[in-house]
Structure formats: C-alpha cells, structure tokens
Amino acid sequence: MLTRPATWPRWARFSVIALAVVCVLGATAVVGYRVLRPADTAVEASGSYPDRPTAEPVRYGELTSAPLIVDGRLRVYADARRVWADTSLTSRTEMTPFWSIRRWPAEVVGVVAVEGQYEGVALVIAKFSDGVVLAINPRTGRVAWQDQAKASVNEKFDGRRTGGATVWQPAGIFTSRSNTDGGAVLIVAGADEVIGYNPWTGKRRWEFTFTEHPGCHETDWTSETTYIVKDSCAAPATLQVFDVASGKLLNTWTPPGASAGPAEAANWFIEPMSCARGHSECGLLKATGGQTVLSVEERAERLAGDTGTVWRVNFDGKVTQEKYATGNRTFLWNEYLIQNSGDPHYVVRAVDRATGDPVWTHKAAGLKLVAVGRLGAYAIDDKLNLVVLHPTLGVELSRTDLKERPDEVWVPGLVHTAGRFVAVERLTGGSPKEPDDRYFLGSTPVVLAGV
C-alpha cells in the first residue's frame, strides 16, 4: 500500500521537495535561456521584388513607423530590435513585412541606404548597439555582408515611436562619395573609431582611431566627399575634416571668435545644413564662436546675440564662408543658395552664391523649406500643404494637402524626401521631453504623400 507523504521520514520529504525545486528551476532556466539568449532572426523576402510605382500629388495615408524609401520600391523601417521592409510603396497603411531582420539583445542605432549598383538595385545598411554592421539586399532580405565595428557606450535605439531619427537622421553611420572616382563610401563611427567602407563589398578602405581626447567625437557627419567631426574637448573645440576615400586628414578648423577657455565657453555651436539625407552628404554648415545662435523669431525681435554664419567645406577640406546665406533653412543647389528669408515671413528665394544677386523669389509667404533635391525645393506652408518649387525658376510645380480633414492641426516634425515621395512626422507641438503619446499625433503619426 502507498503511504501518505506526511508519514514519510523527514529526509525523504526533504529530498522530494528539493528535487521538485531543482526541476522547476531547471525548467525555468531552460525557458528563460531560450527566450532571452542572444539571437538573430531573419525572414527573407516573400514574393517578387516590386516595380517602382508612379507618384501622384496626393496624400496616400498614415503610417505607424517612419519609412526610409529605398530604390523607389520599398519602405524600410526600424524599431529597437528589428529592421524590416514592406510594399507597396503607396499603400495607405503598413503592410505585412516583405522581409525582416531581428537581433536581440542588440538595438538598432542607425539605418542608411546606398543606391545604384548592388545587383542593379541598392543596399540597406544597419548599425547595431553592439557594433555589428549588416548590409541587406533589399531585393531578397538576405545579408550581403557583415562586419564588427565599435560602438559608443551610450549607443541605443533613439527613434522613439516612429523610428524616424534612426532611419532619417541616424548617428554614427553615414554615406558619402569619393572625390576621385565618385564611388559610394560608407562611414561608420563609434567609440573613437571611424571606418570607411566600400558599401558594395564590405571591404574596409581605411580606419582611424582618435587617441587624443577620447569620448569627445560624438558630433559628426559627412559632406559630399569628406567626413567631418568635432573634437569637443579641445580648447577651443576643433573641427577635423577627413577625405572619405582615403581617410587622410585634410584640415582642422575653428570658427572666428572661438574661445580657448574656460571649458564651458570653448565648445562652440555647429550644425550641418543642406544634407542629402539625415546627416549625410551635407553641403553646408552653420557655426559660431559662441554656444548658441538666435532663432528667426528671436532675430526678428532684435534680441542681442549671434545669428551664426554659414560655411562650405570644399573637396580639399578648406572651409569657406557663404557670404550670402541667411542660415535659415539654407540649401546649396549648384551655384545657387535656396533659403528662407531671415524673418518670420518665411519667403523662399534663391540667390547667386558668388554675387548674392537674386535669382528668384516665390511670391507666397509662410513656406518653410524642408529639402532641396533634383526634382525641386520642398516646403510645407502654414496650412500643411506640401509645395514643390522649381529649383532654378521658383515656380510652383505641385501642391499636396497633407491633412486628411480640413480642421486638422499639427506641427511637422522630421521630414524624409525620396524623389516624388515624401514622409512627414506629425507632432502635437509639445516639448520633445513629453512622452511619445503626447509628443506624436495619434497612433499613426507619419503621413506619406506624393508630389
């Protein structure tokens, strides 16, 4: 006959209890390891690679995530752990992923696209918080190449709800062009290390490590042919300009009036301008010897302070002043400067770079420039219309209402332009310190439109 456990000897009861505890803990450990272990998961493309759709000047719809438009065919997104694509490009909402790549526990810190050569298409290149760099074939979703770079201590996913900053303005990963052959160059930076890649093969072209003032090189970007980084711990802070093709240091520069100390005064203001995408291939920069510059509104109120000066980094690394730039959303277009007027009226005009002579002025006020590209100058007016102007004539080419309802009110955030497609973050107008549900407008805060 079986006896009840209460009648068992104490040592037997303790042994059974201990065995049960060990089994439970073992099972928990196995489940926890399977769930939490480092893992990469890839789902390759389902279906054929889509054709390029023809854009129309309409509002296509609203998306939860910010799309990086690649090869005029795919929308590529990022969240903290995953990079994925969907199609078709003109779908009103996000669709089932065409392909996806997930890594854990690493976070996505930046995504860029290089277009034009790989299998006749493009590459999507992502950098992760553990320093891994993945190049993804957008046609198949397969990894074309992989490398291990360094990551800065604080690198993490910084795209908030939409992922916009991660795919439209990523830090630590940039594109540029060789000054010798015009070929694409990928720049990956982190933890005081910079690597120049051939993006099509993943081969390292050059490497450089900042041994002086470690941890002080977080402000960086690329021009058309150079990598530009600020040493914020030098006194005064120093801008260093490298050739992207060779990694050669071309020049060091400080703006006029930069202080040599104390430390809190030596770190002067600078920001890239006229960028092709994010902080890549930026034609201009704004700088001042002080730490801040006046906004357009503060300038109109005639407050005392520095308005900043616009400069151009040339192919040889020399930095020259653009004397006729207002610094108010100024874009370089061939030998013109297309910019907003330096007052709250936000008139768009173009001037000759060499002489300052007017080329054209658009008659409408309230147009805030957001981009200038091959197809035109893109601006958003105070009624939330997306307006495209001819870059050499200033005439209106198209107008797209970004609102679904006439009474819609919101503030444009980050903007991404890719040919005749434009995506815009919709913000409530609150402080960036607000939580996402108060900072972004609704659960689908990205509007996608054509021009």
CB 282 within 8 A of CB 221: yes
Domain ranges of the chain: 40-170, 172-321
pLDDT tens digit at each of 451 positions of the chain: 445 566 667 666 667 677 776 666 665 554 444 444 568 999 999 889 999 999 999 999 999 999 999 999 999 999 999 999 999 999 999 999 999 999 999 999 999 999 986 556 899 999 999 999 999 999 999 999 999 999 998 899 999 999 999 999 999 999 999 999 999 999 999 999 999 999 999 999 999 999 999 999 999 999 999 999 999 999 899 999 999 999 999 999 999 988 887 766 678 999 999 999 999 999 999 999 988 887 766 666 666 667 889 999 999 999 999 999 999 999 999 999 999 998 888 999 999 999 999 999 999 999 999 999 989 999 999 999 999 999 999 999 999 999 999 999 999 999 999 999 999 999 999 999 999 999 999 999 999 999 9
Q: Which two tokens stand for residue 247?
A: 């990694």
62/449 Cα distance (integer angstroms): 9
For residue 242, the number of C-alpha atoms closer than 13 Å in the C-beta half-sphere is 24
Provide the whole-model pTM: 0.90
113-134 as b/e: b if 16+ CB within 10 A: bbbeebeebbbbbbbbbbbbbb
Q: Which two tokens stand for residue 297?
A: 């509104």
Nearest 5°: phi and psi at 233? -100, -10
Closest CA to 64 of 38, 97, 27, 99: 97
Task: Name the architecture of domain 40-170.
Answer: Beta Barrel (2.40)
253/238 Cα distance (integer angstroms): 6
Based on C-alpha coordinates, what's the Rg of the chain?
Answer: 26
CATH C-level class of 172-321: mainly beta
Amino acid identity for residue 82 in this structure:
R
CB 414 within 8 A of CB 426: no
Closest CA to 241 of 301, 285, 273: 285
Q: Which residues are CB-contacts of 61 (< 8 A; sequence separation ≥ 6)? A: 91, 92, 93, 447, 448
Nearest 5°: phi and psi at 267? -95, 85
Q: Which two tokens stand for residue 32?
A: 């926890």
In the DSSP assignment, the letter for residue 362 is -
304/238 Cα distance (integer angstroms): 26
CB 362 within 8 A of CB 328: no
Amino acid identity for residue 407 in this structure:
D
Amino acid identity for residue 437 in this structure:
D
